[in-house]
Amino acid sequence: MKTLNINLGVTEYPVIIDSGMLDDFDKMFNYIGQNKPLYFIVDSFIERNYQFRAASRKYNFSVYVLDGGKNNKNFNSAMKIFQDLDDKNISRDVAIVAVGGGVVGDLSGFIASCWYRGVELISIPTTLLSAVDSCLGGKTAINFRNTVNAIGSYHHPKMILIDTKVINSLPKREISSGYGEIIKYGMIGSEGIREKLMQLNVDCTTDLEELICLSLKQKEAYVCGDVSEQSNRLFLNFGHTIGHAIEFSTVYEGEEVLRHGEGVALGMLAIFRICIHLEYLNEEDISTLRAIIEKLGLPVAFSASSIGMSRDALIDSITSLAFKDKKRTSKNLRLVILDKIGSPTLYETKDEELIKLGVAEVITE
């Protein structure tokens, strides 16, 4: 068991990293406590494997089960949960416990921030992606139309519990997706993370736990003193502006084709190409990034024909969506770029051709 003490300036909370908490409800409740009503919002995959509904009868807590797909991160899902809270007469002294990946975590945080103007939140991220990123920092949001995280608030958890046994049991693709965010931390700052990724044994659970700790401390450093994202926290969006646009543009027949971390990996490669064009980085830099991405099982390109589109049409779609990014100013798209590896900076542009140049790096026929 390991505890990280997170201090963001405006709030402090512990991150408890242990193994087997979801297998052992007594162990989990030893950390959470049972001195107030608990309302669990649980990913349907986690429910199938760990049976929170059955446990709720013994431990006396409420459960709402949610499919953790991106298409459920919306107002409809939020309204259904609000209705369930009301039906069960859940009062303001409740703690909402989010058990799932990024969608469940973001939606649960949004619910917790709104119910009676804010109730206690406990986060139990069950994917590597959410464990190294979205669980920490207080951002909560839902998507609206084609804009990612368009509606949301800041609401910090009381604590975060990370069960490494659950994360290590994930399908390989889900673990690889989480590495997308870890690579980001290495590219914008942490030399220790970059070195660890270069030497990583992908089958070593100890290495993974160390990377989770390094990533969370890296995020703490960027969020501390800038929770509302006015300066340094913006750098955590590296790879995300184009990455989000790639994710949404590649939805096919209503289903997501790319995981979030896969979109971020492609977004980082696109930004590296833009940085080369701006004469900040060089071909050796992008080759290094590409090698790390491939080593960790992430894509370095996406085929437009795989979703029935031409390359040019998909590049245009991604570029158009990128210019709707929530981090834009009234006139310009605001990108996080690197003036060298480990040194992020902000760059504003209205040049669509520059964005297309970056996107073209990762889109094939």
Give catalytic residue positions.
Answer: 117, 139, 181, 219, 229, 233, 237, 240, 244, 260
| Both structure tokens of 65 | 């089960």
Contact 285/194 with Cβ under 8 angstroms?
no
Strand segments, DSSP code E, in 32-189 are 38-43, 62-66, 95-100, 120-125, 139-144, 147-154, 159-163
Contact 300/290 with Cβ under 8 angstroms?
yes
Q: Which residues contact 51 (CB under 8 A, 6 or more apart)?
A: none
Contact 315/301 with Cβ under 8 angstroms?
no
Task: Assign 163 to helix, strand or coil.
Answer: strand
Rounded CA-CA distance 11/332 in Å is 33
Rounded CA-CA distance 58/53 in Å is 10
> Which of these, 136, 137, 138, 179, lies nearest to 160 by C-alpha position?
136
